[in-house]
Amino acid sequence: MKFYRLFPLLAIALVGCQLSYYVSVTEVEYTSKGVCSGVELTTNNQKITGIGYLYRTEGRADSVRLTPGQPVRIPDPNPEPRRTSYILGFDGPVRNSAEVDLTWRCLPDKQPLGVQFTYYGGQSTIKGLRITENPASPHGFDIEVVDF
C-alpha cells in the first residue's frame, strides 16, 4: 500500500484530539518549486474546518484550524523542489456530498486563486487537489481537481 493512501489516517491519528472528530477528509498534493515562501489558505464555507500536514524531514504532523473567511498561513516546509501532502478535514460526516470552496495564495505577493469542487462521501476514489508551483502563473501555482 502506498504511503499517500495511509497519510490521511496517519495524520489524523498523530494530530490527536484537535482533528479526532473529523470523519471525512480529502487530500491536497502540493509540489513546491521555490516560487512561494509560504501558502495562505482561506476556506469559504462552513464544512472545511481544519488542515493537517506532515513535516517529512522532522517526522511529525501538525494541524491548523480554519475559520471561514479568515486566511491562515501554511508555511512551505522546504523551499527546495519537493512534494507535500495535506489533508482537509470536514466538520462532521459527509453522507452525500459537500462543497469544497477554498482560496489559495502564494506568499509573499501573488494573486489569490479560488477553487471549488464537490466531494462525494462513500466513493472509491478521493477527489482532491494537485497544486504545482509555476513561476509563469500570476498566482504562483496551478491547481487541478483530481481523483487520488
> Which has the closest alpha carbon to 52: 40, 66, 42?
66
Is the per-residue pLDDT at 94 higher than 70?
no
pLDDT at 80: 63
Give the pLDDT band of residue 40 (cuts 50, 70, 90): very high
* Mean pLDDT (whole number) for 102-131: 86
3-state secondary structure of 82: strand
| Predicted pLDDT at 145 | 93
Phi, psi torsion values for 4, nearest 5 degrees:
-65, -25
With residue 39 as reference, give the H or E element that holds it.
strand 38-43
pTM: 0.75
Mean per-residue pLDDT, 108-135 = 85
Query: Closest by alpha carbon to 46, among 114, 118, 100?
Result: 100
3 state DSSP class of 19:
helix
pLDDT by residue (tens digit) across 9-34? 444 444 443 433 333 567 888 888 88
Tell me the per-residue pLDDT of 129-147, one tens digit each, with 9 for 90 and over. 999 999 999 999 999 999 8
89 beta partners: 25, 50
Structural domain boundaries of the chain? 22-146
What is the architecture, at CATH level 2, of domain 22-146? Answer: Sandwich (2.60)
Segment of 9-13, 38-42, 62-66 carrying the highest mean pLDDT: 38-42
Which residues are CB-contacts of 16 (< 8 A; sequence separation ≥ 6)? none
The residues, ordered by sequence, that sit 6+ positions from 126 with a Cβ below 8 Å of its Cβ are: 8, 25, 26, 27, 147, 148
